[in-house]
Amino acid sequence: MTAGRADARRNRELLLETARELLTTESGKVPLEAIARAAGVGIGTLYRHFPTREALVEAVYRAEVDRLCAGAAELAAAGPADAALRAWTDRFADYMATKRDMADALRALIDSGAVTSSQTRQRLSEAVRVLLDAGAADGTLRADAHAEDVVASLVGIHLACGPDQLEQAGRMRQLLLDGLAPRS
């Protein structure tokens, strides 16, 4: 790999991480120039990687989904599966908070069809399936649970509980997890 490509990849990752932090703390209203400055790159570098605000928001969103989904396999490998699923649902809560904070910026992507809830739910369900399969194998989770039902339940919990109801959302996630324990 050439140094130029390595620098470009590093700059892209730095821009994504900086954008994620700023877009979530500023509810998506931060100027692109501020993101570039905070990442320590010029605005031209930002535009080379992300020609529009929408392209940047989409990349941040997709990176968050990728991180969340990849975490399922990592957690499942660390076992036991019930603890891994608990840790993953905590990560899901963070993902939902990030998504909520970026809601204004995401609306345009959803309206354009660049991001669809069905695609995201499918990916999340595949990640949960990894954890449920591991739990069925090690006996810590019910074998008859459907990943799509778990994802829909988690989405519902976090839509029902606002950002000021994190404690309640945590209790509701625990109720869901209790329901996934093997039947005696």
Which CATH number is 25's domain given? 1.10.10
Direct distance between the N- and C-terminal alpha carbons of the chain, in angstroms, rounded to an integer: 55
pTM: predicted TM-score of the whole model, two decimal places: 0.84
Q: Do 26 and 87 belong to one domain?
A: no
Residue 74 lies in a domain: yes
Number of other residues whose CB lies within 10 A of the CB of residue 160: 11
Given this model, what pLDDT does residue 46 score? Answer: 96
Buried b (16+ CB within 10 A) or exposed e, 60-95: bbbbbbeebbebbeebbeeeebbebbbbbbebbbeb
Instruction: Tell me the one-letter amino acid at 112.
Output: S
Question: Last residue of some domain: 34, 51, 68?
Answer: 51
Given this model, what pLDDT does residue 24 score? Answer: 78
Instruction: Tell me the one-letter amino acid at 141.
Output: L
Given this model, what pLDDT does residue 32 score? Answer: 93
**pLDDT, tens only, 50-90:** 999 889 988 998 999 999 999 999 999 998 999 999 999 99
What mean pLDDT value characterizes the chain?
89
**HSE value, Cβ hemisphere, 13 Å, CA-based, for 103:** 6
- Structural domain that includes position 4: 1-51
Residue 184 lies in a domain: no
**Cα dihedral sign for 151, 106, 104, 38?**
positive
Q: Do 71 and 28 belong to one domain?
A: no
Given this model, what pLDDT does residue 37 score? Answer: 96
Q: Do 40 and 78 belong to one domain?
A: no
Instruction: Tell me the one-letter amino acid at 174.
Output: Q
Residue 131 lies in a domain: yes
Q: In this structure, what token pair is assigned to residue 25?
A: 């703390």
What is the domain count for the chain?
2
Q: Do 160 and 115 belong to one domain?
A: yes
Comparing CA positions, the residue from 179, 69, 62 lying closest to residue 128 is: 69
Could you give the CA distance from residue 58 to residue 105 in angstroms, rounded to a whole number?
A: 9
Q: Do 72 and 19 belong to one domain?
A: no
Q: Average pLDDT by consecutive 10-residue portion of the chain (184 residues)?
A: 78 94 75 95 95 90 92 93 97 85 72 80 96 96 96 92 89 96 88
Q: Do 32 and 68 belong to one domain?
A: no
Question: Last residue of some domain: 36, 51, 66?
Answer: 51
Given this model, what pLDDT does residue 33 score? Answer: 95
